[in-house]
Structure 1
Amino acid sequence: MTSITTPTILMVPGLRDHVAEHWQTLLESKLSNAASVPPLEHDKLSCAARVAALDAALAKIDGPVILVAHSAGVMITVHWARQHSRKIHGALLAAPADLETPLPAGYPDIDSLAQNGWHAIPREPLPFPSIVGASRNDPLASFERVAAMAKDWGSTLVDLGEVGHLNPAAGFGEWPMAEMLIHELV
């Protein structure tokens, strides 16, 4: 008799960490099998520190994991995948932030991102199934750049339409489509 283990859903937030009204935070509180990478206390802009935090969160989980990343959390995930070999069941990569192009005011500048290890964005195929949700009007990444990343990663690309950066500023608290996309990875 085989045992079926439900994957743990691990949220990988972006540089702004946990926002109470963000869809990831709301989804985590809704699901009994969800956890989140905790916010950093130090080195908040360091890619290496973010990757280490993801790896530490994964080390606390036994069994299969589905990563649910948003914005720079997607970049944390792809940097992690290049450096670590833990088996991942799948990943939902929503609204990746293009950290190789200038971001809007209020976000780190391109030089700070480079100095903190975010360049270059890994473009190797991911070693696990993944779905990239791309917005047509995301101020943090063009649809074309995200589509190219998805292709390079071997991800299924889902055109989300005009959803901005898929965050509270774009009108998203809850994002019901996330559960549907996660279900496709299970």
Structure 2
Amino acid sequence: MIRFFDIIFSVIGLVLGFPLLLSIYTLGLFDTGAPLFRQVRVGRYRQPFTLVKFRTMKVDTASVASHLASTNSITRLGRFLRRTKLDELPQLWNVLKGEMSLVGPRPNLFNQEELMAERELRGVYHARPGITGLAQVNDIDMSTPRLLAETDARMLREMNVRLYFKLLIQTVLGRGQGDRVVR
């Protein structure tokens, strides 16, 4: 049932959001010259997939988890996109392809070994990663691997259609601050 909602909402989001996606893409061309950011992440069953987002950091920024990056690397447009969560919109394509869900554990990088071990221990990789989840709406990010893995596992145990919609609505209404970035 949740996969059905993922498909419906990602199609609607991509179709109705196309003018917004195109506008952000165009602004991104002026901001960094490379508006889309692609990065290999850990997916369901620990399989790699390429996550697509709008770029929020300078092109030459090291490929590390957000909490390890410096705020100096975030562009002005990027700051706005992160605050409004619009940088996540291209991930609707990942959802439509079945690599992600709208709601699930945020996909991590392969070099985040502590987080991978904690998630593996709790069976988190049996689910599709998501654009948002329980951890995100409660300001828990990848800088606290054990707490994040515990929160992800709890969300997956309790997941049902009601929780799915609750987390989506909380995200749309602006709950959660996104990943921390070093000041």
TM over 0.5: no
Under a length normalisation based on structure 1, what TM-score does the superposition of the two structures give? 0.27
- Structure 1 or 2: larger helix share? 2
- Structure 1 or 2: larger strand share? 1
